[in-house]
């Protein structure tokens, strides 16, 4: 709705609403007049004018209230849609699309300023067992708890998203390889300290893949994501519950 108002301008919007309200009020007055004539009710001119004014004064505020309420409702719906497009409803983290847009921007900044950054992919080990044995509701609760724990451990400049299913993606600007490793260590601790699966008799852990720029040359964020993804699957193949840095030696 704001886009509509911006497009035609505030003055035109007010004029359009005023014209619409007046037209409806006049139509109501005309309908009332026709009804009086059909019923052969004798009214003097002053009475007719008074009734016309009263009808207009009644209809105009009602229409204005309705139209403003409609605008506010559309505005709320737009805000809700923006929120859903920005944040994952389950974990509270960024959506995949929003993450990639922001990460690509920070990547361009890193290229221009010569700044390092780290990209980390995290995949929950044994998460399928939780869904298979205890249901998707328990699985969703586990993801929700993990999302809350992630938000509590992020710096203000860090980006995190639910990349899909039980995979999470992190963009850590101005971060060295050692600092990325420290962040990965904290994620391992988060799993053991924050998410208690002892009642489920399942050892929930996490496998991490880390790719760092400029150590790994990349024209765009997707190149780093691919590198981190390869490293993460290397950690999975090694038994899970590990952090693997991407390097040609470790992947080949």
Write down the pTM of the prediction: 0.69
Residue 166 known to be catalytic: yes
Element (DSSP H or E) covering residue 160:
strand 159-164
Structure confidence at residue 181 (pLDDT): 95
Q: Which residues of the chain have pLDDT under 70?
A: 1-15, 17-18, 25, 28-29, 32-33, 35-37, 39-72, 74-75, 77-85, 194-202, 248-252
Start-to-end CA distance of the chain, whole Å, equals: 54
Structure confidence at residue 76 (pLDDT): 72
Structure confidence at residue 158 (pLDDT): 95
Q: Which residue is it, tokens 């690509």?
A: 104
Structure confidence at residue 252 (pLDDT): 41
Q: What 3-state class would DSSP assign to 211?
A: strand
Structure confidence at residue 45 (pLDDT): 58
Alpha helices in 39-86 (DSSP H): 45-86
Residue among 166, 203, 223, 229 flagged as catalytic:
166
Structure confidence at residue 119 (pLDDT): 96
């Amino acid at each position: 709705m704001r886009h509509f108002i911006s497009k035609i301008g505030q003055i035109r919007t007010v004029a359009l609403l005023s014209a619409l309200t007046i037209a409806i009020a006049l139509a109501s007055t005309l309908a009332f007049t026709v009804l009086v004539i059909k019923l052969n009710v004798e009214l003097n001119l002053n009475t007719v004018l008074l009734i016309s004014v009263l009808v207009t004064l009644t209809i105009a505020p009602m229409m204005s209230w309705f139209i403003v309420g409609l605008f506010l409702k559309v505005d709320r719906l737009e805000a809700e849609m923006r929120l859903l497009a920005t944040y994952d409803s389950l974990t509270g983290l960024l959506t995949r699309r929003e993450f990639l847009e922001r990460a690509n921007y920070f990547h361009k900044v890193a290229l221009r300023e010569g700044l390092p950054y780290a990209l980390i992919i995290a995949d929950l080990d044994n998460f399928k067992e939780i869904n298979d044995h205890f249901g998707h509701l328990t699985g969703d609760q586990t993801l929700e708890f993990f999302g809350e724990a992630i938000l509590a451990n992020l710096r203000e400049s860090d980006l995190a998203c639910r990349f899909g299913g039980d995979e999470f993606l992190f963009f850590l600007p101005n971060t060295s390889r050692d600092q990325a490793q420290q962040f990965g260590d904290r994620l391992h601790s988060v799993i053991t300290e924050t998410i208690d699966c002892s009642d489920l008799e399942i050892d929930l852990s996490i496998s991490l893949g880390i790719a760092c720029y400029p150590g790994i040359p990349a024209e765009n964020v997707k190149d780093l994501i691919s590198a981190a993804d390869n490293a993460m699957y290397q950690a999975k193949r090694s038994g899970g519950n590990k952090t693997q840095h991407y390097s040609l030696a470790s992947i080949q």
